[in-house]
């Protein structure tokens, strides 16, 4: 009788462990996806500069985009290879 009780307890613990780990998986996957997305946004933002002109026409290059103005995004990463322009002459 004691062995039957231990077997029932082991089965109950195994079922509880199975439920716990399967319930955690979707939440962990969601947390990992959110963290990866945040890291990608942060990496893109860290690698970008913004070029814009103020009301006086002065050129500014900043790490944060201006509010209410047109701006151009500039990548800090160099382009692969060499650009050759043959228009000299």
**Cβ–Cβ under 8 Å, residues 51 and 41:** no
User: For residue 86, what pLDDT is reported?
Assistant: 80
Task: Break the chain into its structural domains and give their ranges.
Answer: 49-77
Ranges 14-18, 27-31, 58-62: which has the least confidence:
27-31
pLDDT of residue 89: 57
- pLDDT tens-digit readout, 41-86: 887 777 889 999 999 999 999 988 899 999 998 888 777 887 788 8
Tokens representing 40? 């990608």
Answer yes or no: pTM beyond 0.75: no
- Region of poorest pLDDT, from 2-6, 22-26, 30-34: 22-26
Query: What is the pLDDT, as a whole number, of residue 2?
Result: 83
Residue 49 phi, psi dihedral angles, 5° rounding: -115, 160
């Amino acid at each position: 009788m004691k062995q039957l009780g231990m077997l029932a307890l082991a089965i109950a613990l195994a079922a509880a462990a199975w439920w716990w780990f399967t319930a955690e998986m979707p939440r962990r996957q969601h947390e990992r996806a959110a963290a990866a997305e945040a890291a990608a946004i942060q990496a893109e933002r860290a690698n970008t500069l913004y070029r814009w002109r103020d009301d006086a026409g002065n050129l500014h290059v900043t790490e944060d985009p201006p509010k209410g103005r047109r701006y151009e995004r500039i990548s800090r990463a160099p382009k692969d290879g060499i650009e050759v322009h043959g228009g000299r002459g």
